[in-house]
Structure 1
Amino acid sequence: MLLKKENGWKNKDLEREKIFDFCQEYKTSLDLGKTEREYVRFGLELAKKNGFVCANSKERLEVGDKVYYVNREKNLVLVVVGKEDIKKGINYVVSHIDSPRIDLKQNPLYEELELAYMKTHYYGGIKKYQWASIPLSLHGVVILGNGERRDIIIGEKEDDPVFTIPDLLPHLAAKYQGDRQTSEVIKGEELQIIVGSIPTEVKNSEVKELIKYQILEELNRTYNMIEEDFISAEFQLVPAFKAKDIGLDRSLIGAYGQDDRVCGYTSLRAILDLNEVPVKTAVCFLADKEETGSHGSTGLQSNYLEYFTSDLINKIQGTYNDLDLRKTLWNSNALSSDVNAAMDPIFKGVHEPQNAAKLNYGIVVTKFTG
């Protein structure tokens, strides 16, 4: 099928193929980057393949140079130096790559009634009931007592075990959960994962919690961890599902983490695919902590934007002062690239149709939010 354009004709099937190929790459990014650390690693690998080098490796920057900055493995900044004087401004596109999830507490493991559990704390605005009775994978990093770092992912391979948060059977739930508000069908303190039920075979009178001990044995055997290592660990629980096409026509994508990795990926691709040196210096900033208020040293309330912008000014000009930074930021443009909700005919009442986003109408520009 051919569609008319202002400057000629285009093949609709070819355009469709390009869109589906792009979305296949996007789904891969979602599967490989289920945490902010993993997404930074994914983005950094793509950046290096596309000619970006570490900014710290360059004393001076010239027009057309491509560099990256990484902040605590949770922020990734990609820069293409433009033709204009940097003090005339930078074009920033900013997306966050953290998503609602469940974190393990610092002392999570316990045993009760012949089951081993781990205590959790939710991160971001989750609907807690959605996280019960589904397969969960564990992603994280731990620093062992000897200083060794271990990156751990359990539950993503086909033969991996997974974890789950138990829920009540329907005929037991009526009296216990029936009168609860929707937000409390599963309470925060009930978001605990099952991690085991087989007791250790160790015969030791001092070992009282046999199932917990068996879990610790497995962690030590596989990852060289001891219980105290949870203090230095950062473990996150996310759905173990892979990104999938939705619908018979495969027109939609269902996956964990699309808020806001859909914008993270498109922002990343936009700067990687720049074919010409831009007029203004271009920056793609993949940030952290948006789901909890953009706080901390990796959130947008930190001074990291000012830090790397100052470094850019110094390396481009060979000099730096505070006024140069203020001029650069004053003359810059920033696009906050985050998700919006399209109207669902089942829940039309939560939208104002005249100003709501709709499917198949292109990019959403949101002037008012919050």
Structure 2
Amino acid sequence: MSKTQDTSESDASFAIEAKSCWETYASPEDRAAMRDLAGRYIDFLSTCKTERETVHFVRKALTDAGFTECADGDFAGDAVFRVLKGKTVFVARQGRKPLREGFRLVGAHGDTPRIDLKQHPLYQDCGVAQLKTHYYGGIRKHQWLARPLALHGVVAKKDGTVVPVTIGEDAADPVFAIPDLLPHLAYRQVEQKLADAFEAEKLNILIGHSPADPPAAPETAEGAEPAPKDAAKNGKDAIKTKVLALLHAKYGIGEADLYSAELQAVPAGPARFVGLDEALVGGYGQDDRACVFTALTALLTAPQPEHTQIVLFWDKEEIGSEGSTGAKSRFFEYCLDDLIEAWDPGARKSRVLAAGKALSADVHAPIDPDHQDLHEKLNSSTLGFGPVFCKFTGHRGKVGANDAHPEYVAWLRNLLDEAGVPWQMAELGRVDLGGGGTVAKFLAVYGMDVIDFGPSVLSMHSPFELTSVADIYAAMLAYKAFLSS
């Protein structure tokens, strides 16, 4: 049992007993399954570093599993999905019971904190070419300095073609970097507050250093004045010119095409096992692709459901779920309208929504061994003790929170205890010392029951986040039990 689960009623103490996933899943069969899932998860993290790449992975997995992709219009078939703008996915599998009797919904987000390029990014100064950036989501800026970065994304051209870009992941590729200030010149910086010491406008990425070869000088008549030197000849923009020439040679794009580009700087290199025992996974983007991967795996391995299963992977959660691909959009509603028309004509949408049960599948922060004072230990989660229920998020006086109802919490406790899946109950840090938000409140507006639930992540929002192999395995089984309930 997890540290927040009850003992059986026959136990006179009725105390909470702590038990880790490693104790629960101790058999050779469980350990082999755990290891296999972790290996596939590492491959997923290494491949999917943007929301578009994540959706591409999801689309292929669903298609291979027999799901039918349906664009705007009817949902034909009993296992369907729809993709919005390459960034958000709605997936549904029909249950034995009619849709009006409710559904089981798991919603996660595929976007992660990162560094985006500005629309006019490229410039040359001090003997190098650099890219201007604007960070996305809640990053700690100093963590992105002096480390290898890769560029991922797309460039949309005026003729309608969209060019995918990935530089820095192949062993033969160059990488990029944001330089850091040397300690010999950082005396003033180290005395500043962290928020002031690292300026967002100075997160500029090095992309080039050598100048373009000057063009051959045209022959002039004897005694004639030589032609004036242009920028490429005198070196003023020769490095920038070479960068543009290399981009054009490889991708067929020019500087103006960067206006309609979506390019992201992300940590270069694959995810890895961490620790001598390889019991941890380290890699970029585990908030919240840990939940995308485990929810997708759970869906594809779950049996035929009693209730309709819905899995949603949203974009833009890290900046408040805004925009057409975020959880604040009407995409979910529009898909549900089409689903009702196809699977349960005549059902009232309000009834379908109110009968639904949902998990906001998002990661949680476990107690940090080096910063235990920021956590209230009695209400903190521990790495390796299973996925975490967070009854409310928000900040200070629960502002901006979905506060799950106790009846729903009790139902979920029973569900996972019956399934033998360890779980925890915690909140995010000590009161008034932090806070956060998820998509839960955007689902709660429909009247459905919803709670935040996902695996723990150390070093959250950093370029190299850490999860427990055991927690990833338990989260997948928990989502599977929920979708099958």
Q: Output the TM-score relative to the length of structure 2.
A: 0.71
- Residues 1:11 and 1:174: Cα distance change in structure 2 (over 3 Å): closer
1:147-188 alpha-carbon deviations (Å, 9 max, x no partner)? 32210100000010111001111111123x122212333210
Q: Percent identity of the aligned residues?
A: 40
Contact 1:61 1:81 (C-alpha < 8 Å) held by counterparts: no
Tell me the distance in 1 between the aligned counterparts of 2:354 and 2:230: 66
Q: Does 2:27 align with 1:12? A: yes
After TM superposition, the structure 1 stretch with the greater mean CA deviation from structure 2, 354-363 or 118-127, is 354-363
Among 349, 359, 372, the alignment partner of 1:325 is 349
Is 1:346 aligned to 2:402, yes or no?
no
Distance in 2 between the 1:345 and 1:165 partners?
29
Where structure 1 has 5 or more consecutive residues not aligned to the other structure, the ranges are: 1-8
Correspondence for 2:212 among 200, 222, 233? 200
Within the alignment, does 1:266 sit opposite 2:294 as a pair? yes
2:360 to 336, 344, 353: 336
| Structure-1 residue corresponding to 2:45 | 30
Segment of structure 1 superposing worse, 187-196 or 340-349 = 340-349
C-alpha distance in structure 2 between counterparts of 1:121 and 1:310, whole Å: 37
CA distance in 2, matches of 1:13, 1:238: 37
Structure 2 contact 121–131 (Cα < 8 Å) conserved: yes
SS, match of residue 390 in structure 2: coil
For 2:291 and 2:38, the matched residues in 1 are separated by 13
Give 1:221's aligned residue.
249
Q: Which position in structure 2 is the counterpart of 1:48?
A: 63
Alignment of 1:366 onto 2:390: yes
Cα shift readout 1:303-333 (whole Å, capped 9, x = no counterpart):
011010111001113x46xx71111111111
Q: 1:284 aligns with which of 311, 320, 330?
A: 311
Task: State the distance in 1 between where 2:152 and 2:214 align.
Answer: 29
Q: Which moved more, 1:338-347 or 1:226-235?
A: 338-347
Residues 10 and 361 from structure 1, CA distance in 2 versus in 1: closer, same or farther, beyond 3 angstroms?
closer
Detail structure 1 runs of 4+ shifted over 6 Å in the superposition: none
Match of 1:307 in 2: 334
Shift of 1:345: 2.0
Distance 1:279 1:183 in 2: 51
- 1:73 partnered with 2:86: yes
Residue type matched to 2:310 in 1?
V
Contact 2:25 2:31 in 1 (8 A): no
Q: Write the distance in 2 (CA, Å) between the matches of 1:235 and 1:314.
A: 38
Q: 1:268-316 CA distances to partner (integer Å, 9 max, x unpaired)?
A: 11111122x2111001101110000000000000001101011100111
Whether the 8 Å contact between 1:140 and 1:153 is mirrored in structure 2 is yes
Contact 1:241 1:256 survives alignment (8 Å): no
Query: Deviation at 1:202?
Result: 2.9
Structure 1 residue 59: Cα displacement: 4.4
The alignment status of 1:174 with 2:187, answered yes or no, reads yes
Any conservation in 1 of the 2:122–2:130 contact (CA below 8 Å)?
Answer: yes
Q: How many residues align?
A: 355
What is the rounded CA distance, in whole Å, between the counterparts of 2:161 and 2:326 in structure 1? 27
How is 1:139-218 mapped onto 2 (pairs within 5 angstroms)?
139-175=152-188, 177-203=189-215, 205-207=229-231, 208-218=236-246
Q: CA deviation at 1:57?
A: 9.2
Contact 2:51 2:315 in 1 (8 A): yes
Residue 342 of structure 1, CA deviation: 1.1
TM normalised by structure 1 equals 0.92
Structure of higher CA gyration radius: 2
SS in 1 for 2:352: helix
How far is 1:145 from its partner? Answer: 3.2
Q: Distance in 2 between matches of 1:185 and 1:132?
A: 13
Shift of 1:363: 1.8
Structure 1 residue 44 displacement after superposition: 0.9
Partners of 2:74 and 2:339 within 8 A in 1: no
Secondary structure of 1:253's counterpart equals strand
Instruction: Report the Cα distance in structure 2 between the residues aligned to 1:217 and 1:44, rounded to whole angstroms.
Output: 34
1:12-68: CA deviation from partner (whole Å, max 9, x where unpaired): 222111101101111111111100000000111111111111134984656xx1111
Cα deviation for residue 86 of structure 1 reads 0.7
After superposition, the Cα gap between the structure-2 partners of 1:202 and 1:257, relative to the gap in structure 1 and judged at 3 Å, is same
Per-residue deviation at 1:107? Answer: 0.3
